[in-house]
Structure 1
Amino acid sequence: MPSTKNIEFQTRDDHILRGPLTLMEKPNAPLGILLSPSGVISAHLMDVQAKVFNDAGFATLTYDPRTFGQSDGLPRHNINFDKQSEDVFDAVTYVTSLAPQIDITRIALLGGGHGGDKQQYVQLFPSPSEEAAANPQKALLGGPALSGFYSSIQMLADGKNCNWENKVTLESAYYNFINEFQAYLPRVSPTPLLCKDIEVKFLQKYVT
């Protein structure tokens, strides 16, 4: 018989998210993380949907979105789709700690409405650690060019009280990647992308 308990996990920005986790009696079960639509908490809808998957042999995790229900976050009832999407990474990190009760190679993200948007976001952008390990070459400047750039700016800062170090956090690298236009270009294909400079003379006729 499946067993359900209320759990909590921590997000990267120190919020606590809470919701029911249902595990199967047998180990190595596939698991579905059910992602709620805007403003919907687990008790509204997701527990009913979770039971459908539980009856089919899936473990499930549902949780209240940040600022809603039993989860932390201020201001209350504030919807931030970017933050809620990032929380899914932390939900995945949490459930991977449940092995061997679940099969961590069979984790599904299941969302409806804006919950579906979150699922697509997470599949589009890997977690920070996975991206850093799998794609160390993804940078605008790399190799000798990058080394020369930092040497140059270090010389400009020498002797100045600027409190600067040549380092950033792993999370900074993650945000840099998901906001870097080169990361999106391969995903545009096969649709052509047109990028065109606007000539000054074209703009002048709109200047009063």
Structure 2
Amino acid sequence: MREDISFPADDGVTLRGWFYRPDGATGPTPTVVMAHGFSATKEMHLDDFAEVFADAGLSVLVYDNRNLGDSDKPVPGEIDPWQQINDYRAAITWASLRDDVDADRIGIWGSSYSGAHVLVVAAIDRRVKCVVSQVPLISGSENARRLIRSDHFAALRQALDADRVARYQGEKPGMIPVTWEKSPDEQCVLPTADTHDFFFGPIRERAKTWRNEVTLRSVDLFLAYEPGFYLPLISPTPLLLVVAAGDHLTPADIALKAFEQAAEPKKLLLLPGGHFDAYVGDAFKQSSPVQRDWFLTHLT
């Protein structure tokens, strides 16, 4: 059973999403908290994962990040990783206060940008009893240098600095497309062809609230974000890291190298295909049962 829910973040911003309760469940249940990646909304296949987990007897809280989707938008299109980390922790608190949730058996799930966030949350919040991180960002600076041509970096830095001055002087935040729409030559944050194909593909029929723009400040924050630092600090919380072998958006080699830094208990699942293949098709069929069983093993 799925119900629409809303809850306040620590600063009063309202976050909205879904709460899945397993059919036939009685009493408090183990629960998984989920949010999506960079600019993405919950309709972009999070319901597919949540249904797999709920069918196995887990409750699931799925919500849109602030400034995106159905959640409040005090700064539309602003993606602040540390704010989203705090919102994960608020979501855990809200879930733990429900009578039908077992507060001692809460896991977290994230993918891509939120796959980075759950690494941080699992390291700093011991209420988390296990974590699944799918195709995660490991290093904002290293990832950016894979995505952005070196001769474009100076112009990008100038644009970010100019935007900072403009905002300081009271102007509205500058905006930039998430991905290109008509030509790969368009300036955007995520310039890969599979990013374009995902966001402008069939998923748009499901994700009506997605917008192809974020603030320039979101890029500045991305460049300074280093979630891989927290990997050695996650233990003893069990970690499942899911990597797509052909991922060049959050490159597989960076994630595989980072996995070595995590202490036990940990598990690596290597999937075929690229970054967005992890959400659909054979990769989803292979991955979702492993993720489900990870939560069942460590939450039940």
- If the TM-score is normalised by the length of the shorter chain, which range does it land in? 0.5 to 0.7
* Deviation digits for residues 52-86 of structure 1 (CA, Å, limit 9, x no counterpart): 10111111010000000110123212211110111
In 1, distance between residues paired with 2:11 and 2:101?
Answer: 26
Match of 1:177 in 2: none
Matched positions, count: 128
* Deviation digits for residues 25-62 of structure 1 (CA, Å, limit 9, x no counterpart): 32222111112111111112211110010111111010
| 2:79 paired with 1:79 | yes
Secondary structure in 2 matching 1:90: helix
Matches within 5 A, 1:116-155: 116-126=115-125
Secondary structure in 2 matching 1:14: coil
Match of 1:64 in 2: 64
In 1, distance between residues paired with 2:92 and 2:124?
Answer: 13
* Deviation digits for residues 71-116 of structure 1 (CA, Å, limit 9, x no counterpart): 01232122111101110110001001112x1211110001111111
5+ residue gaps, structure 2: 127-229, 234-260, 262-300
Match of 1:113 in 2: 112
Secondary structure in 2 matching 1:30: strand
5+ residue gaps, structure 1: 128-183, 192-208
* Structure 1 runs, 4 residues or longer, greater than 3 Å off: none
TM-score norm. by structure 1 comes to 0.57
Larger Rg belongs to: 1
Secondary structure in 2 matching 1:79: coil
Match of 1:132 in 2: none
Match of 1:200 in 2: none
CA RMSD in angstroms comes to 1.9
Code of the residue aligned with 1:37 in structure 2: it is G
Match of 2:238 in 1: none
Secondary structure in 2 matching 1:98: coil
Structure 1 residue 120 displacement after superposition: 1.3
In 2, distance between residues paired with 1:40 and 1:52?
Answer: 20
Alpha carbons 1:35, 1:118 under 8 Å: kept: no
Match of 1:11 in 2: 9
In 2, distance between residues paired with 1:74 and 1:96?
Answer: 26
Code of the residue aligned with 2:42 in structure 1: it is S
Match of 2:46 in 1: 46
Secondary structure in 1 matching 2:27: coil
